[in-house]
Amino acid sequence: MNKVILIGNLTRDPELQTTNGGVSVCRFTLAVTRRFANSEGERDADFLNIVVWRNQAENCHKYLKKGSKCAVTGRIQTSSYDAQDGSKRYTTDIVADEVEFITNPRNGEDGGFAPTQTEPKQEKPKQTAELEEIDDDSLPF
């Protein structure tokens, strides 16, 4: 099984490209803080390359920016290529299946991405004196 779940912050603005076949692909780097502190008491971070495809790629490019917090689920993919100097280079990317925007892109606050969602209004509970008495004979049970 090859499954990755990450939460972190973008280190740069996402870059959107289109393949020769017209498929959108977005790339960004996610800084993920390690769980434990090092010997100096500081928590290090890993910088992971994320690749997102199709409509989700366009949404990432539109709504994410440097510093945005997001959650990514996907898989690890390694590949290699020959550099200009003739040496073999290896890359490791996270190919995203899902990207969830944790930082609200409009104001930068945490709490989930839902620009059209509003908190339901909660009615003030009635005081004891305001409650109506119920006739037990009218109840269906």
Are the beta carbons of 129 and 116 closer than 8 angstroms?
no
Domain ranges of the chain: 4-36+43-113
Q: Is the pLDDT of residue 2 over 60?
A: yes
Residue 10 in tokens: 């973008």
Task: Specify the CATH architecture of the domain 4-36+43-113.
Answer: Beta Barrel (2.40)
Radius of gyration, CA atoms only, the chain: 24
Phi and psi at 32, nearest 5°, equal -115, 120
> How many Å apart are CA 60 and CA 91, to the nearest integer?
22
* pTM of the entire predicted model: 0.72
Residues β-bridged to residue 79: 91
pLDDT in tens, 66-112: 999 999 999 999 999 999 999 999 999 999 999 999 986 555 555 54
> How many Å apart are CA 131 and CA 137, to the nearest integer?
18
pLDDT in tens, 22-32: 999 999 999 99
135 to 126, 129, 132: CA distances (angstroms): 19, 17, 10
